[in-house]
Structure 1
Amino acid sequence: MEKQNALTKLKSYAKKLKQNLFVLYLSYKDSRVPWYAKLVAICVVAYAFSPIDLIPDFIPVLGYLDDLIIVPLGISLALKLIPPQVIEENRVNAEEIRKKGKPKNWFVGIIFILIWVLLAYWVGKALFEIFRY
């Protein structure tokens, strides 16, 4: 029961942080944001809006690792790097974007698909070499 309660709190925390994705989306375009904060923000937003996960959700436990840990950590880091006045100014516009729906980033999705294809090729080639003899 206690584990389930902790998991519920973690999911709630992750959901709250994900609401800030639209703030990051607007903030990385702002000229007042330092380049390193823009870099972190664009990476987090691109990954979060990607239709493909680095770790697919169908993999037990690990599949939700990115949703529960990786994305929220990236969002937290990016928000800490962006000036507070920029974040506050972008919250109102971010709410409007969020209501319209989550944009998809197919470019990042294609990159993840290529990574999985290359990984499958590499594993397949290694297995072929092992079992060839």
Structure 2
Amino acid sequence: MKAWAKKLKQQILVLYLAYKDDRVPWYAKIFTACVVGYALSPIDLIPDFIPVLGYIDDVILVPLGIMIALKMIPREVIAECEIKAEEMMKKGKPKNWLAGSLVILLWGIVLVWAGLEVYSFYN
């Protein structure tokens, strides 16, 4: 299980690096950005506190998204990004505070919008 989680983290890093490559088609970049953003997001589609269903996104949706994204990206780009990702993992986890801040901001906007919708529904 621990090896699977490490492989998943490395694949997310590969997708992150591939997103920046100019050889990746625009549609693959959009899908890849969504997969990486969702994988790194602290908020899940199905909250983890819901028994059994809460872990479906972690066990099925994220790996499925990674698999689809990897198929959209040219093989030579993936090979190069895998080497870069392996080197980065050896040095320690990379940190991108800007990307993390944007993900949190996006989820904050979604939550505020949802709260306003619920409020307007009841009033």
TM over 0.5: yes
CA spacing shift, 1:58–1:113, aligned 2, 3 Å:
farther
Q: 2:47 aligns with which of 48, 52, 56?
A: 56
TM-score, normalized by length of structure 1?
0.71
Cα distance in 1, alignment partners of residues 50 and 115 from structure 2: 15
RMSD, matched Cα: 2.6
Structure with bigger gyration radius: 1
Aligned pairs for 1:36-115 within 5 A: 36-99=27-90, 100-101=92-93, 103=95, 105-115=100-110
11-20 or 57-66, larger mean C-alpha shift: 11-20
1:21 aligned partner: 12
CA spacing shift, 1:15–1:121, aligned 2, 3 Å:
farther
1:4 aligned partner: none
CA spacing shift, 1:23–1:34, aligned 2, 3 Å:
same
Q: Secondary structure at the match of 2:44?
A: coil
Cα distance in 2, alignment partners of residues 111 and 16 from structure 1: 27
Aligned-pair identity in percent equals 54
Shift of 1:37: 1.2
What amino acid does structure 2 have at the position aligned with 1:55?
I
Cα distance in 2, alignment partners of residues 54 and 111 from structure 1: 14
User: 1:74-125: CA deviations, max 9, x gaps?
Assistant: 1111100111111111111112333422646221222223323433443455
1:33 aligned partner: 24
What amino acid does structure 2 have at the position aligned with 1:35?
W
Cα distance in 2, alignment partners of residues 40 and 21 from structure 1: 13
**Which blocks of at least 5 consecutive residues in structure 1 are unaligned?**
1-7
1:14–1:68 Cα contact (<8 Å) kept: no
TM-score, normalized by length of structure 2?
0.76
CA spacing shift, 1:118–1:91, aligned 2, 3 Å:
same
In the comparison of the two structures, how many residue pairs are matched?
A: 119
